[in-house]
Amino acid sequence: MMLLKILSFASVFCLFILIFIGGYVSASGVGLTCPKWPLCPAGLVPMDEFIIEYFHRSVAVTTSILIIVTMAFTLKLRNITPNGMKISSLIAAAAAVGQITLGAIVIAERLHAVLVTVHLGLGLVLFSMTLMTALYSYKIPSDKSKNVAKELQKQR
């Protein structure tokens, strides 16, 4: 159960950092310094002028992986995790995939204002669902955590 708490907290933390970086990318006007998606023109190792946008994309992928792994772990422990936690983690994972897809569309459409606004709105939904998942993980009674090892052994 401790792993679920760590994953959910790490997801919220990384997502907060990602939103902060996204705000910087938007406010500083560097959103199109890396005009190709998913990689910058130089490939995996960006040139200096692409570093901020490339960093934003790298943190986005890392955060999305954390959110999806948290969802998988939440669903794997279906007898222990509350239904609300399962629902919030599913919505968060879907929103993470949606954010990456929408981010690509925002770049392809050259930062269209409506798309950028929808990207921010979906980010807020993603943050709230990820936060709810983390809060649920800390509300799971400790006596249920003793059953985690048994649950995992049954599933193997």
Over residues 107-124, the pLDDT tens digits come to 889 899 999 999 999 999
Window from 16-20, 38-42, 74-78, 82-86 with minimum mean pLDDT: 38-42
Total number of domains constituting the chain: 1
CA dist., res. 26 & res. 156, Å (int) = 46
Instruction: Please report whether residue 152 resides in a domain.
Output: no
pLDDT at 16 over 60: yes
Per-residue pLDDT tens digits for 125-143: 999 999 999 999 998 877 6
Give domain status of residue 70, yes or no: yes
At 4, the pLDDT band (50, 70, 90 cuts) reads: very high
Residue 153 in domain: no
What does the alpha-carbon distance between residue 71 and residue 56 come to, in Å, rounded to a whole number? 22
The verdict on residue 149 lying in a domain is no
Domain range spanning residue 32?
A: 2-36+47-144
Asked if residue 106 belongs to a domain, the reply is yes
As a dihedral over the C-alpha atoms of residue 77, residue 133, residue 126, residue 17, rounded to 10 degrees, the angle is -110
pTM of this prediction?
Answer: 0.87
> What's the pLDDT band for 9 if we cut at 50, 70, 90?
very high
Structural domain contains residue 155: no
Residue 10 within a domain: yes
